[in-house]
Structures are given as structure tokens and as C-alpha cells.
Amino acid sequence: MRKSTSDSSKEPLIYFGDPDTTTEESEIKKTKWTSRMLFKTFPMRESRRATAQRKSHGPTAEEVTQWAQSLDNLLSCKYGIIALRLFMKSEHCEENMEFWLACEEFRKIRSRSKLRSRAKTIYEEFIRAESAKEINLDFHTKESLHQSLLIPTQSSFKAAQSRVYFLIEHNSYPRFLDSELYHQLCRIASGEQ
């Protein structure tokens, strides 16, 4: 475990040490579990002194700012999807995001046999009553999905995906923008941490 020194105290550190710390170590900000997950998911940006050939990882400050403009902006960025999934997992509603992503993949399938197989899998995982990841859909949407399993098309899950998008946009997305996770991402992306 790396110990903090006075010259390295300005570096962004996460300290996972013992609760019995020295005075110098206790000044290091201890993070919550969401911060730990965040730092494991988004590698720290390279320092400004790094060579120009090295690329930085993680979202840029501009990308993170654009996430607040619309859910579409957030979902069009791979880091935005990762961040929203982390947040939704912390709120125990990740099945909505997983369903939306499964529908996005489903729409790209061209093979009839793969469409049929994947449609059944998605139905069993997210739509069927009492499934482990059952999403909140009305009876009519569920019934039309059940009927579409006979001859699935790329748009079979379109209505259900739109409903889940609406739920994410009006419930999880606003809470994500108000969350400490999002604010911490903004600070990291702008280089404040």
C-alpha cells in the first residue's frame, strides 16, 4: 500500500487503508463504495506531463457536460452508458438499462434464426412474469410481445423499449444528474480530482 507524502498529497488518491491511520493519512479523503466502483470503471486520465503519444481514458469534460443536456447524448457515449448503469445498479433498477441495451443489440440482428432465438431469450429474461429481471410493462405491451415471438422482427421490442426509455428518462436519468456519482465524474473529467 502506497503511503501519502507531503509532495504527493496533491495527486488524486484513493485510500483503502485501515481505520487506524496517522494524522497525515487521515487527511486523505476516504471514498464511498460508488467512488471505488467509479475509479475501477474509469481509468484515471494521464497527467498533463505525459507524452503527447499517450491517450487519456475516460470521458472528456465536454462529453460529461453534454450528458446533462439529454438522455440521448448520454446513451450515445460508451462512458455515459457505463456511468448510468453503475448508478442504476446502485438504485437496484439496472434491469431497465440492461433491457434497453439488449433491444439495441436485437435491432442489429439480421439472421431470422438468431432473431427468433434472441427474442425468446429477451422475453424470458425481462418480460415473462416472475422473471428475475422483469421490467415494468403494461399488460397490452407484454401480450403483443408474446404474440410477436412467433415471427419476430427487428422492431418486435420497439414499443417495450420506448416505454423503458421513457421510464429511464423520467425517473433514473434526473436522479443520475443529481447524484454524487455524476458530480464526481464532472470533477474528474475537468481535472479537479
Category of 92 on φ-ψ map: left (φ > 0), alpha (ψ -120 to 50) or beta:
left
In the structure, what pLDDT confidence band is assigned to residue 31 with cuts at 50, 70 and 90? very low
Per-residue pLDDT at 120 = 94
What is the DSSP secondary structure assignment for residue 116, as one 8-state letter? H
pLDDT of the residue at 41: 52
Query: What band does 57 get if pLDDT is binned at 50, 70 and 90?
Result: confident
Inform me whether the pLDDT recorded for 67 exceeds 80.
yes
What are the residue ranges spanned by the domains of the chain?
61-91+173-189, 94-169
Task: Note the pLDDT of residue 105.
Answer: 96
- In the chain, DSSP assigns E strands to none
pLDDT of residue 118: 96
Q: Is there a shared CATH topology between the 61-91+173-189 domain and the 94-169 domain?
A: no
State the pLDDT at residue 58: 80
pLDDT at position 146 over 50: yes
Q: Fold for domain 94-169?
A: Regulator of G-protein Signalling 4; domain 2 (1.10.167)
pLDDT of residue 44: 45
Lowest mean pLDDT across 36-45, 98-107, 179-188: 36-45
* Global pTM exceeds 0.85: no
What is residue 66's predicted lDDT score, i.e. its pLDDT? 95
Q: What is the DSSP letter of 107?
A: T
Closest CA relative to residue 126, chosen from 155, 163, 154, 153: 163
23 pLDDT more than 60: no
Mean pLDDT of the chain: 79
Q: How many CA atoms lie within 13 A of 109 on its CB side?
A: 20
* From 53-57, 58-62, 133-137, the region with the lowest mean pLDDT: 53-57
CATH for 61-91+173-189 (1.10.3720.10, 3.20.20.120, 3.30.1360.20, 1.10.196.10): 1.10.196.10
CA dist., res. 95 & res. 29, Å (int) = 32
